[in-house]
Structure 1
Amino acid sequence: MSTNHVLIKIVLFTNVLFMNSFIENRSINSSYDVVEQEQIIDENPVLGVWEFLMPEADAPYRKGRIFISKPNDDYQVVISLKTGSLNGQDIKVDNNRINFNINKEGIDRISFVLEVEGDKMIGESYSESGSNEVLAKRQIPVE
């Protein structure tokens, strides 16, 4: 066998070992991420992705998802609709309750008052045009 063939085999063998090690470490790290995420949710029940329904709201705002996160020490809320996303403002969290505001179409201010009970969230939204019931269910990641 030539020297080049031996070197190529050594390089391939090393790459295979490295990739297996990398894949194993990555799956271990993702397992830690899942455990860490579960601990965060247990400590703070409002965090997560919530599929919501507001039965009495205008059609584009009737259903969507609420993403609640805390990347640093500040909470972030994003409401995702078919027509786009709205960012939450003035976010206040107290145990299993969250209050925040959004600006609909840039001018209409809507306030949300929500409470978590297990994997369900209930509450109301308030605006100049009235109030709406808000019902939400936590989106559990598929394993």
Structure 2
Amino acid sequence: MTARRFAMEVLDVTADMVSSFRGGFAAVAAMLGGRSEKVLRNKLSKYNDTHHLTLQDFIDINRLLVDEPFGDRALQALCFEFGGVFMPLPTLSAGVMQADDVTALLRSVKEHGEAMAVCGSVLMGGARLSEAQYQEAERECLEALAALRELMVRLRERCA
């Protein structure tokens, strides 16, 4: 089973994000420096051979839409194409209190425990997993990875 089987095409996801944005393609095209709505639609269509989304276009669109609900979907889809996940790093101030570090450590332990509990319960049956079981286990594992990544960022801040 490959990651590609479950991944939506990056262009499809990006086009969906743009169309879901208030004002849709016209608004995003205008925010991208007054580009034509038609050109943007063509760049985001996998059926068009005359216009292609550049890496800079992809970056600009994602910067514009990152704060929207599910604004990281295109980045998630791109990472999924390569067998990974997109995980934004937390924004931490230079003067983070030590209590927050302890909380991050405990959260990491808690999330890993929850992930192991879910994975253990679905694997104990020995039978094939349902899609719902897989989705739940994947969600818990990704939450554990995010908690561990936050802890790593906090550790990096403490390096001399």
TM-score past 0.5 threshold: no
TM-score by length of 1: 0.23
TM-score by length of 2: 0.21
Q: Flag the structure with more relative contact order, 1 or 2, with Cα contacts below 8 A and sequence separation at least 6.
A: 2
Looking at secondary structure, tell me which structure has more strand per residue: 1
Is the radius of gyration larger for structure 1 or structure 2? Answer: 1
